[in-house]
Structure formats: structure tokens, C-alpha cells
Chain A
Amino acid sequence: MRPEKGDLTEPRQHQSTDLSEAEAIERAKLGDAEAFQVLYDKHKRRVYSLCLRMTANTAEAEDLAQEAFLQLYRKIATFRGESAFSTWLHRLSVNVVLMHLRKKSLPVVSLEETTQGTEEDSPKKDFGADDLALAGSIDRLQLQRAVDSLPPGYRTIFVLHDIEGYEHNEIAKIAGCSIGNSKSQLHKARMKLRDLLKMNRAEKAGKSRAG
């Protein structure tokens, strides 16, 4: 799984305490309110971002992030340190989101195998003109919007693999699909994103030419 980002740049929420994560976990087991908040501040962005990317809805993402942390705190007494705390929390968060998506009857991962693609998903020979090519870097905001526009099944796979760093064998276990399905859906998600980003650039290019 991809290591956590942002820890070095994020300002510390509690200037008055130097609780390490291990200390915060032990104190949280004893019901220390400050310890809970230390753990929350350290992991909130990761958990919330995951929920937001998977649902593309801020209200749902907040509710799911809240639920993930509550489940964590309820179970924290059982954490023995066999795995990294962040891994444990992250896996819990993913399960919370996936359960939510299942309850909403949204496809977690498309059940279609690679051999049965739709016309829209079929490989295209025409990759577009040069002036629409994605060049240099991709704007983060544009990519966020494009991810939010993905169909739910594609979005889940893309978020879990490319954003959160899960391997296909892990995704297969979490999402209850085959490794092959995970790989094919990921590829389709990336292709779809490429199309969305190109369309976005084309629209902007058209507007700037008209203006």
C-alpha cells in the first residue's frame, strides 16, 4: 500500500503535546480524549480523502469518515500492533465505504470481465489530435473532477489502486472480485479518465480560441 502523504507538511494540531502515535494509541485505549484527537488529526485527511474520492459526495464522505473513526475507536482496545496502525485504519475505512456503496446498490467493481466490454469501452484506434494531447503535468483539480465523474465501479478501482496504492490481489479480496477483473477495470478507468481529461482540455482550448 502506498505510504501516507502529507504528514511532513501538515501543521501539527496540538502544539502543546508531543504524543507519538504509539503513545496516543495506548492512551486512547484508556479513553483519553486528547489521544483520540491526536489520532484523528494524524489520519483524518487520508481517511476523508479516500471516502470523498470513492463517493464523490462531501456529505456522504463526512458521514463515512466519521463512521470509520468511530469503528476504529470502538475496536482500538483490540489493536495489538501486528500491522501498522495506519494500515489497519485504512483497511477499516475502505470496508466502511464499500459497505456503504453496496447498501446503495452501486457497483463496487463491475462484474463484467475484460472480454465483454461495451462499445464505449472498446479500444479506440483514433487517439486524438496532437493539440489535445495531455502534456506536461495534469492539474490536480481537473483530475479530481474527472475521478468524480467516473462510473462508481471504475472509480472504486482507480481510487484503491492508483490513489491509495492497493495491489490487485488486495483489491480482489476487499472488493470480492477476481484479480483479472480488477486489472481490466483499472485499465478501463484510466482510459476513461484520459478521455475526460482530453475533453476538458478541448473545451478549454475551444473557449480560449473563441475568446
Chain B
Amino acid sequence: MVNKRAAKLVAIGVIVAGTLMAESRKEYHFAVGPRAGVSVMNPYGSISVKPSLNNTVVVNAILHSDKVEVDNNQNGNRVDIQSHLLAGADPESGRVDYEVLVPADASITLHSSTGSLRAEKLNGDVNLEGAGGAVSVRDVSNAHVHVKTMNGSVNLDNIQNGHVEVDSLSGDVTMKGVNGPLVQVVSTSGRINYIGDFGSSGEYRLTSHSGDIEATIPDWTSADVSARSVRGEVHDDIPLQPKNHISFTIDKGRAFAGTMGKVAVSSTVVLRTFSGKIHLRKRSEKQ
């Protein structure tokens, strides 16, 4: 019994050691100027971007096997990183996980098919395109945030004064504290969940063909709201002042429209779904 256990432990140790030996770590440093552009194209694996302390781009890459290389190129103020798959690479062996530090004012573009994408504490433009991996953007201000995903979930947290566009096919989209001149989400079947105050006198357009849309807002929100579902139900927990002119027929149970708060400084909120449900909820004191 003891021998079998020992043999098992040795076997596990060998496997772990073998795995560790196959992995390699690479680090790259690039000096850049203000408003640099950084792109990371990584078919398999995650990418995480955080701000650096100075005008340096630091790329840490963990390569999971020798069937993938990291190509890196700097052209002036632009840094391009690409995972280069070699013959025989597959989603496992071709995987590279990146941790990237960039100056906070840098614009970033990240692509991955399988891995998660994460960006935080930046004020340059953020362009993220994923397929199945989760996408997360937090603490970004005064910037464009563009996200495309197939079925990976999208989480936006504390995006201030942003121009936000999210295109999701079936991934769910969750936004907390997202406001700006434009916040637009288009989804085919993903659910859209907004928790915030529709602030900044912006235009908010949340559209999902078959996914549900839920917006949770405080009752002091100033907004011109219209909601419509062609085949699904709509619910409104917050009393709205009726509007005089609406571009569609209010079919009770399928649509509502009205204003809340101070009209002079209100945002425009458009919630649309074909067959999903729409629910405008009042935020409780605890939220």
C-alpha cells in the first residue's frame, strides 16, 4: 500500500515536472511615448492588461509548450505582440498566457479565441475581441471601450465617461457603473444586465434579439426611457411620466415609455428585444 502510494506520488511529481519543464516564460520591455498603441493577438490563452508605473510596456508571456512562439515588434510608439503557432500546435499546446503592463494612457487591442481578456485602470482606448473566453473591463475612464464576443461573457465595471460599444452574439453582458456619452450593447441571444444610473446625459441603447434585458437604477435617475419587446414581456417598477410623442404604439405588456427625473439633464435610454423580457427595476438602498 505504501509502495503504491509512493509510486503514485512519484508519477504525479513526474507529470507536474514534465508540465513545468514544457512551459517557458518570456519577458519583453518596450519604451514608449505618450498615447502608445499596444496590440496582443493570441489565438489560445488569456491576456490581462494593467497600468505600468512609467512609460514602459512590459509583456510577460507564459508559453505552454514549444509549439508556440511569441513574435514581438515595436514600430515607433506602437508595440505588436503575436502568438505564433508552430506545426502541430493545438489549443492546449499553442496556449500562451499574457500579463501586460502598459502606460495608463495607452490604447490597447486584444484578441483571443479561447482565453479570457481583462483590462483595468486605463484611460486609453480599449478594443477587445474574444470568442469563448470571458471579457472584463474595469476602472476605465474617458475612453472608447469596444468589445466583441461570440459567447464569452462580458463584464464592464466602473467605466466613466466612456464611449462604450459591445457586440455579443450569445454572451451575457453585465454593466455596473457604466456611463458616458454613448453606451450601446447589441446581442443576439445574450442577456443584458445594467446596474447604474444612466448618467452623463448620454445615449444608452441596449438591444438583444432573444435575450432578456434588465436595468436596475436608482429612482433619482434622469432619463427618457423607452422599452419594447415584440414578442416578450416588459415590466416597469419605476413610475414614468408619459411622453406625448412616441414612434411606436404602446402595446401594454409589450412596451412602455416615459421620462423620469429632470428632463433637462436626462439621458436617452432605449431598451429593445424581439422575444426576450425587459425589466426596469428600482435599485434598493442596499445596492
Within 8 Å of chain A (Cβ to Cβ): is B86?
yes
Complex contacts, A59 vs chain B, CB 8 Å: 69, 71, 84
Within 8 A of B (CB), among A59-82: 59
Within 8 A of A (CB), among B32-81: 69, 71
A81: min CB distance to chain B, Å: 32
List the A residue with the shortest CB-CB distance to B84: A59
Complex contacts, B69 vs chain A, CB 8 Å: 58-59
Contact flags A1-40 to B (C-beta < 8 A → 1, else 0): 0000000000000000000000000000000000000000
B186: min CB distance to chain A, Å: 33
In the complex, A196→B191 CA distance in Å?
63
B227: min CB distance to chain A, Å: 47
Complex contacts, B71 vs chain A, CB 8 Å: 59
In the complex, A40→B20 CA distance in Å?
37
Within 8 A of A (CB), among B74-116: 84, 86
Complex contacts, A58 vs chain B, CB 8 Å: 69, 84, 86
Contact flags A35-60 to B (C-beta < 8 A → 1, else 0): 00000000000000000000000110
In the complex, A58→B86 CA distance in Å?
9
B260: min CB distance to chain A, Å: 57
In the complex, A33→B71 CA distance in Å?
29
Contact flags B146-188 to A (C-beta < 8 A → 1, else 0): 0000000000000000000000000000000000000000000
Complex contacts, B84 vs chain A, CB 8 Å: 58-59
In the complex, A58→B88 CA distance in Å?
14
A140: min CB distance to chain B, Å: 16
B261: min CB distance to chain A, Å: 58
In the complex, A184→B149 CA distance in Å?
59
In the complex, A58→B68 CA distance in Å?
11
In the complex, A59→B70 CA distance in Å?
10
Complex contacts, B86 vs chain A, CB 8 Å: 58
A15: min CB distance to chain B, Å: 20
In the complex, A58→B71 CA distance in Å?
11
A89: min CB distance to chain B, Å: 20
B94: min CB distance to chain A, Å: 14
In the complex, A146→B142 CA distance in Å?
55
Enumerate chain B interface residues (CB-CB to A < 8 A): 69, 71, 84, 86
- Which 5 residue pairs spanning A and B have beta carbons closest together? A59-B71, A59-B84, A58-B86, A58-B69, A59-B69
Contacts A/B (CB < 8 Å), 5 sampled: A58-B69, A58-B86, A59-B69, A59-B71, A59-B84
